[in-house]
């Protein structure tokens, strides 16, 4: 980590905190019992998280959705996803945990991923006290957060105290080993460009060789290593430079026998769920919500023509 890199990261974070999503929901549409901030003990210090509690009468343990914001592993805050977390908690009757994980370059790979995993384990350990079901946890994220969600699904596979039943991978970076200049869009000026991607990668990876690690670049995992992962909802955008690697990862998951609920959104670029077009953003959030509902209910999914129960 060098001083110039850190200063650039801090400037980017300051700009990101001031940014507002162009597409948001009115909080009044999705009333909740409460929203509170909690600090979860981890190896990297207390992790701040926003807890969205649904107003449900049932005494049954709640399913959980762990949300991971975007920002290239360097910037972003959970508040950027506040509107959508409220919608999911209300409509699904689940606890949504919106995590403020540690960022690079101060905390390069694997800190953010491992901290998120410790948060998963903490939630499972607090299941009875929180009134949640550790056997019905979904993970998901946007851009860099989608990358972390894929890594969490891999780390949690076969865990004895918790079960990830679904992963949401929303226009994620899934191959950091490929040079950003080779990631193309039909737009002259897509939202993500090579210079910014190089900066993100240089902050996140303390050694460029780490880009070959499947926990950094899930697309590089061999098919056999993907078997047994939970079903995935995978979203890409037509003009996003990350579209190709997202679609390639979806195909690799299918080869491994993983149920993949995939959709490419035409006429959209990176971050369209937050920046619009509004109709596409709303459609994507409905797509995510429907997939999570099926996963929490244990509804079967289709894989290569056969019906399999959500893991």
pLDDT band at 301 (very low <50, low <70, confident <90, very high): low
Q: What's phi and psi for 155, nearest 5 deg? A: -65, -35
143 catalytically annotated: yes
pLDDT per position as a tens digit, 234-272? 999 999 999 999 999 999 999 999 999 999 999 999 999
> Could you tell me if 72 and 147 are in contact, meaning their C-beta atoms sit under 8 angstroms apart?
no
Alpha-carbon gap, residue 255 to 258, rounded angstroms: 7
Which among 306, 126, 102 is positioned nearest to 204, based on CA atoms?
102
Write down the architecture of domain 3-309 according to CATH: 3-Layer(aba) Sandwich (3.40)
pLDDT band at 26 (very low <50, low <70, confident <90, very high): very high
In the chain, the percentage of residues whose pLDDT exceeds 90 is: 88
Alpha-carbon gap, residue 6 to 62, rounded angstroms: 40
pLDDT for position 35: 98
Alpha-carbon gap, residue 76 to 19, rounded angstroms: 9
Alpha-carbon gap, residue 172 to 148, rounded angstroms: 9
Ordered by start, the domain boundaries in the chain are: 3-309
For residue 113, pLDDT over 70 is answered with yes
Which among 244, 283, 250 is positioned nearest to 265, based on CA atoms?
283
Q: 3-class SS at 303?
A: strand
For residue 2, pLDDT over 90 is answered with no
pLDDT for position 302: 52
Q: At 94, list the tokens.
A: 């689940």
Q: What is the CB-side half-sphere exposure of residue 153 using CA atoms within 13 A?
A: 32
Alpha-carbon gap, residue 245 to 217, rounded angstroms: 10
For residue 1, pLDDT over 70 is answered with no
State the greatest distance between any 2 C-alpha atoms of the chain, in Å, as a whole number: 54
Of the candidates 213, 240, 274, 310, the residue annotated as catalytic is 240
Which among 48, 30, 23, 36 is positioned nearest to 86, based on CA atoms?
30
> Could you tell me if 222 and 25 are in contact, meaning their C-beta atoms sit under 8 angstroms apart?
no
For residue 197, pLDDT over 60 is answered with yes
> Could you tell me if 119 and 44 are in contact, meaning their C-beta atoms sit under 8 angstroms apart?
no
- pTM (whole model) above 0.85: yes
Which among 85, 309, 47, 67 is positioned nearest to 170, based on CA atoms?
67
270 catalytically annotated: yes
> Could you tell me if 101 and 122 are in contact, meaning their C-beta atoms sit under 8 angstroms apart?
no
| Segment 54-65 mean pLDDT | 92
Of the candidates 116, 143, 154, 217, the residue annotated as catalytic is 143
pLDDT for position 311: 46
For residue 305, pLDDT over 50 is answered with no
Of the candidates 90, 142, 166, 270, the residue annotated as catalytic is 270
pLDDT band at 21 (very low <50, low <70, confident <90, very high): confident
Question: Could you tell me how far CA 145 lies from the centroid of its own chain?
Answer: 4
pLDDT for position 70: 97
Separation in Å, CA 25 to CA 81, 109, 124, 242, 268: 10, 33, 30, 26, 19
* Residue pointed to by tokens 């980590």: 1
> Could you tell me if 28 and 17 are in contact, meaning their C-beta atoms sit under 8 angstroms apart?
no
185 catalytically annotated: no
| Segment holding 261, helix H or strand E | strand 260-265
Task: Compute how many other C-beta atoms are within 10 angstroms of the C-beta atom of residue 212.
Answer: 12
> Could you tell me if 59 and 133 are in contact, meaning their C-beta atoms sit under 8 angstroms apart?
no
pLDDT for position 263: 98
Burial class of residue 253 in the structure, from the number of CB atoms within 10 Å of its CB (0-12 exposed, 13-18 middle, 19+ buried): buried
pLDDT per position as a tens digit, 157-192? 999 999 999 999 999 999 999 999 999 999 999 999
pLDDT band at 77 (very low <50, low <70, confident <90, very high): very high
pLDDT for position 250: 98
pLDDT per position as a tens digit, 36-58? 999 999 999 999 999 999 999 87
| Segment 105-122 mean pLDDT | 98
Residue 15 vs residue 26, higher pLDDT: 26
Edge-to-edge strands, sheet with 132-142: 34-40, 47-53, 95-100, 62-68, 132-142, 164-170, 231-237, 260-265
In the chain, the percentage of residues whose pLDDT exceeds 70 is: 96
pLDDT for position 306: 45
């Amino acid at each position: 980590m060098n001083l110039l890199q850190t200063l650039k990261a801090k400037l980017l974070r300051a700009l990101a905190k001031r940014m507002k999503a162009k597409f948001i929901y009115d909080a009044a549409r999705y009333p909740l019992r409460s929203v509170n901030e909690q600090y979860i003990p981890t190896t990297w210090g207390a992790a701040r998280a926003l807890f969205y509690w649904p107003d449900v009468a049932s005494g049954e343990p709640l399913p959980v959705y762990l949300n991971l914001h975007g920002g290239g592993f360097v910037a972003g805050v959970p508040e950027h996803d506040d509107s959508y977390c409220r919608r999911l908690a209300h409509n699904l009757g689940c606890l949504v945990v919106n995590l403020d994980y540690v960022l690079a370059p101060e905390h390069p790979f694997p800190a953010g991923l491992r901290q998120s995993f410790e948060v998963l384990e903490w939630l499972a350990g607090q299941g009875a006290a929180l009134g949640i079901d550790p056997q019905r946890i979904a993970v998901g994220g946007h851009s860099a957060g989608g990358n972390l969600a894929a890594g969490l699904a891999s780390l949690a596979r076969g865990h004895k105290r918790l079960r990830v039943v679904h992963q949401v991978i929303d226009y994620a970076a899934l191959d950091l080993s490929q040079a950003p200049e080779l990631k193309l869009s039909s737009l002259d000026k897509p939202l993500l460009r090579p210079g910014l991607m190089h900066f993100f990668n240089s902050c996140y990876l303390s050694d460029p060789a780490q880009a070959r690690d499947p926990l950094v670049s899930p697309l590089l995992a061999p098919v056999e290593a993907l078997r047994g992962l939970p079903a995935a909802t995978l979203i890409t955008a037509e003009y996003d430079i990350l579209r190709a690697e997202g679609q390639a990862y979806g195909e690799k998951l299918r080869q491994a026998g993983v149920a993949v609920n995939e959709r490419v959104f035409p006429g959209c670029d990176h971050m369209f769920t937050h920046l619009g077009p509004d109709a596409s953003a709303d459609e994507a959030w409905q797509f995510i919500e429907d997939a999570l509902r099926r996963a929490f209910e244990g509804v079967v999914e289709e894989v290569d023509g056969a019906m399999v129960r959500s893991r």
